[in-house]
Amino acid sequence: MDLSTLNEVQREAVEAIDGPILVVAGAGSGKTRVLTHRIANLIENYDIFPSGIMAITFTNKAANEMKTRIESLIGPVTSQMWVGTFHSICVRILRRDSDRIGYTSDFVIYDTQDQKALLKMCYKELNIDDKRTPLKTSQFKISAAKNDMLTPDLYEGRYGSDFREKGFIELYHLYQSKLKQNQAMDFDDLMLKTIELFKQNREVLTYYQNRFKYIHVDEYQDTNRAQYTLVQYLAAKSRNLFVVGDADQSIYKWRGADIRNIREFEDDFPGARIIKLEQNYRSKKNILDLANSVIANNPNRRDKNLWTDKEPGEKIGYYMAYDEKDEAKFVVEKIRTFTREREYKASDCAILYRTNAQSRSFEDNLMLNGMPYKVIGGLKFYERKEIKDILAYMKLVVNPSDDVSFQRVVNEPKRNIGAKTIEKLQAYQLERDCSLLECLPFVSEIEGIGAKASKGLTEFYGIIDRLKSKIETDFVTQIFDELLQSIGFIELYEAEKSVEADARIDNIYEFRTVIEEFEKRNEEPNLRDFLAETSLRSDQDNIEDQEDGVLLMTLHASKGLEFPVVFLVGLEDTLFPSFRATDDPEELEEERRLCYVGITRAEERLFVTHARNRNQYGRFEARHASVFLSEMDKALLENFSESRDSMNFETEKPEKKHNYFAQNALKSKQSFFGKPSASNAVTATDVSDEAERRYGAGTKINHKVFGPGLVITVDSDGETLTVAFDSCGIKKIHSGMAPIKRID
C-alpha cells in the first residue's frame, strides 16, 4: 500500500487506527482519498477482515465510488465490507431481524407520496380537515418528531399536556399503527426501527458490535439525531469510529441534521483525535478565495483556513441579467464558446441553482441551441405516474398488506371500482381484520358490491395472485413483462394517441431497462430488493459518467461533487438566500454554507449570475441582488454585464418604475444576438419568410440530438419552431442554431 501519494496530514489520518477519530475535512481536501486509503490500509497492513468494516456514505453513488477506489488500491476483497447509505444499511439490518419488532422481512418502503396517501386515510378516519391542517404540515411534523427520535408514545409523554398537540398526537399514533398494518416503513422509520431492534434485542446489537470493528461515517455534519444514535450504538463496543465532515458544509438542518454532532464529537468521545485537512486540491486560488470571503461572514463558525498552492486562475465571471431568459442565454453562450473552442466538454459544465423550478429557462435555452444536457432531480423518474403505478403493483405482489398501493391501482386501469366500493371493502376489512387485497377472495360475500365492481375486483386479484406465485421462480423482468401484459398499460396509452401518453410508454420501456440493469448487477436479484433499491435511490445516483451533457442540479444535489466549470445562478434576494431566511439568522447561515458548497464545487472556472427581473407565479417581478454577492471580494470578479455600475450591490435598490426605454433597447439587442449570423441585412419579416420557406408548418426535420420530428408552428419571430419529436415530444427549437436538417 502506497501512502506516499498523500500529504502529511492525510497520512496522519490514514495511520490513526484505533479509537474515535474526527477528520475535519475542508472542501476539496481529499477526504475520499483519506477514507479509501485508511480502509485499504486496515485490510492490508493491519489484517482487519473486510467483513469487519462498515462505511456509511451520503449517497449510493459515493458508496460505489468508494468500493471501486478501494478495489483499485488493494484488489477485489471489498464485497464483504458494508458500504452504503444510512438508509440502505438499515434496510439490510432490518431484513434479517424485522420479525422481532413485528414486521415481516418483506416490508415495503413508503416514499413521500405514499406517506401522503396514508396520511389522507388517517385524516378521513379522524375527521381532520386538510384545509385547516395541510397534509404537508403533518408530514413535516411527523418527520421532525422521528428525526428527534420521538415515537408517538414519547411525543405524547413530552407534549401530551399541551391541548394544542392533542390532535396531532392522535394522528401520529394512527399513522404509525397504519404503517405497521400495511407492513410499511417511511424513510425515517428505517433508522428508528433499527434502533428499536437494537434496544429490544441486545443479542442482535451485540452481533453487529462484534462484527463491525471499524466504522466510518462520511458527511458527519449532516447526520440527524437518529443517525447519530445509531452510530453510537454500533461503535459503543469497539470505539473505533472514524468520522469525516466539515461544519461549513452542513446544509440539511431542515431535514433534522444537527451540526452539534460534529462540533461536540470531542465531548461525546473523550480523548478523540482530531485531524484537520486544510489544503484544498480542487480549486484554483481565486475560487477558493471567493469561497472564503463569503463563508467568513458566518458569525457562529470556528475559524478554519482552507488554502491552496494552486495558481490564481481566471477571475470569477459575474453577470447581471435582465431576466431569467437573459441569464440562461449568457450561461449557454459561455458553454457554447467553451465547447466550440474545445476548452471544455459540455459535461465539464454544471449549472447550480437554489430551486428546481429554476432549471426551466436553462433547459429551454440549451434545447434551442441543440446542446445536450441532463437535469438531476426535480420530478424524478420514479415519481412519474406510470412508474409509480407499476411500482404499486409490484409492491402489492411482494406485500399483500399494502393498502396504500392497493388503493392506488385497484382502479388503474379503470375497472369500475369507485369510492363506494372501497368503502364497502373497508367495512368488510374491519370485520375480517385483514388487508384490502386479502378481502378480495370473499367479494361475493360482501353486501352492496355490484356485479360490475365485483368482476373488476376479481380480475384485479387474479393479476396479483398469478404474479405472486412466480415471485420465487421468475426473473424480475419476467414478472414485469407479465404484469405489463395483464394491466395493458401500453395499449391503453397507445390508444390515447397523445404526446404525453407516448412519453409514458417510453418511460415504461426505460423502466424495463432499469430492471435489466438491476438483474445484471446482482447475483440473486429479487423483486423485494429491487423495490427497496428503487425507493432509496438518490438524485446523484442517476448521474452517468460516460454521457456528455451539461449538468443541471440544485446546490443540495451538488454536494460532494466537483466540476471544471460551475455556473452559480439566481443569486437574488429571497431566492438565494431563500425568503424564509430573511428574518432567521440561523437559516441565513445555512444558506451561506450552501453558497460556500456551490462555490467550492468549481475546479477551474466559476461564474456567478443574477437577474434583475424574474417570472414567478406567472408574474414578472423586479428583484435585487443577493447579500452573498455583496459579500464576495470584488477584486476577484470580472464583470460581463452590459451595465457598468452593476457591481454596486450595496447601493442597489429595487426599481419603483420600469424603464420601458431601457427594456426595449435591451430586448432588441437580445434578439439581434439571437439571429443567425449569416443574414446581416435582413429584416424580421425576411427572416420569418426565410424560416417559413425552409421550415414551415408540416416540414419534416431531423435533429442531431432528438432525431426526427414534425414542425407544428413557426413563431412570429420567425426563428423559433415548435416541433413534435418522435423521441421526446413537443419542444421549441431555434431554426438558426439548432442542429436540424430538412427531410424531404
Rounded to whole angstroms, what are the CA distances from 465 to 57, 396, 470, 472?
38, 10, 9, 13
Residue 426 annotated to the active site = no
Nearer to DNA, 42 or 531 (CB): 531
- CA atoms of 274 and 16, how far apart (whole Å): 10
Contact pick of 96, 166, 202, 580 for DNA (by CB under 7 A):
580
Site residues (CB under 7 A) for DNA, limited to 68-97: 85, 87
C-beta neighbour count of 100 within 10 angstroms: 14
Backbone angles phi, psi at 38, to 5 degrees: -65, -45
List b or e across 433-471, with b for residues whose CB sees 16 or more CB atoms inside 10 angstroms: eebbbebbeebeebeebeeebbebbeebbebbeebeeeb
Looking at the DSSP assignment, which residues form a beta bridge with residue 319?
609
Task: Single out the segment in contact with DNA by CB under 7 A; choices: 159-167, 275-283, 394-402, 415-423.
Answer: 415-423
Polymer length of the chain: 744
Pick the catalytic residue from 12, 32, 482, 529.
Answer: 32
From the list 150-158, 467-475, 579-587, 658-666, the region that binds DNA by CB under 7 A is 579-587
Residue type, 606: L
Q: From residue 468, how far is each of 85, 178, 255, 483 by CA, in Å?
A: 30, 23, 37, 11
What ranges make up the beta strands (E) of 532-684? 550-554, 563-568, 602-611, 613-616, 619-622, 637-639
CB nearer to DNA: pick between 105 and 616: 616
189 interacts with DNA by CB under 7 A: no
From 194, 229, 249, 534, the catalytic residue: 249
Size of the site for DNA (CB under 7 A): 43
Query: Which of the stretches 43-51, 150-158, 613-621, 691-699 binds DNA when contact is defined by CB under 7 A?
Result: 613-621
Q: Please say which residue, 553 or 705, places its beta carbon nearer to DNA.
A: 553
For the bound state, the minimum distance from the C-beta of residue 314 to DNA, rounded and expressed in Å, comes to 29
Task: Choose one: 2-10, 283-291, 480-488, 577-585; the region binding DNA (CB under 7 A).
Answer: 577-585
Residue type, 524: E
Instruction: State in angstroms the smallest separation of the CB of 63 from DNA.
Output: 10
Collapse the DSSP code of 621 into the 3-class scheme (helix H, G, I; strand E, B; otherwise coil) and give the result. Answer: strand
Chain mean position to CA 572: 23
At 457, the amino acid letter reads: L
Our finding on whether 556 is near DNA (CB under 7 A) is yes
Q: Is 64 near DNA (CB under 7 A)? A: no
Does 497 help bind DNA (rule: CB under 7 A)? no
Q: Which of 114, 218, 412, 533 is catalytic?
A: 218
| Catalytic pick among 219, 222, 258, 589 | 219
Gap between the Cα atoms of 150 and 132, Å rounded:
24
* Cα 317 to the center of its chain, rounded Å: 28
Known catalytic residue: 249?
A: yes
The three-state DSSP-derived secondary structure of 106-160 is: CCEEECHHHHHHHHHHHHHHHCCCCCCCCHHHHHHHHHHHHHCCCCHHHHHHHHC
Taking the least distance from each CB to DNA, the nearer of 59 and 626 is 59
Give the nearest distance from C-beta 504 to DNA in angstroms.
13
Q: How far is the CB of 262 from DNA (least distance, A)?
A: 19
Which CB atom, from 183 or from 411, has the smaller least distance to DNA?
411
The number of CA neighbours under 13 Å toward the Cβ of 335 is 30
**In this chain, which stretch among 291-299, 410-418, 460-468, 485-493 interacts with DNA, using CB under 7 A?**
410-418
* Using rule CB under 7 A, residue 698 touches DNA: no
Would you count residue 536 as binding DNA (CB under 7 A)? yes
Q: What angle do CA 434, 437, 438 make, to 5 degrees?
A: 45
- Nearest Cα to 643, choosing from 625, 631, 626? 625
How near is the Cβ of 385 to DNA at its closest, in Å?
Answer: 8
Q: Is 187 in the site for DNA (CB under 7 A)?
A: yes
**Does 218 participate in catalysis according to the annotation?**
yes
Task: Give, as ranges, the residues between 119 and 148 that touch DNA (CB under 7 A).
Answer: 130-131, 134
Residue 180 annotated to the active site:
no
Range 33-62, binding DNA (CB under 7 A):
59
Residue 720 found at the interface with DNA (CB under 7 A): no
Instruction: Report DSSP state, residue 354.
Output: S
Tracing cell 456551490 back to the chain, one arrives at 598
Q: How far is CA 152 from CA 145, 192, 194, 507, in A?
A: 8, 12, 16, 39
- Binding residues among 366-405 for DNA as defined by CB under 7 A: 377
Cell of 441: 377472495
Q: Binding of DNA at residue 354 (CB under 7 A)? A: yes
Residue 601 a catalytic site member: yes
Q: Which of 75, 102, 312, 418 binds DNA (CB under 7 A)?
A: 418
- CA dist 559 and 554 (Å) reads 9
Smallest distance from DNA to CB 158, Å: 23
Of the candidates 480, 483, 481, the residue with the CA atom closest to the CA atom of residue 460: 483
Q: Which residues are catalytic?
A: 31-32, 218-219, 249, 601
- Interface with DNA (CB under 7 A): 59, 85, 87, 111-112, 130-131, 134, 187-188, 254-255, 354-357, 377, 411, 414-421, 453, 536, 538-540, 554, 556-557, 578-580, 587, 615-619
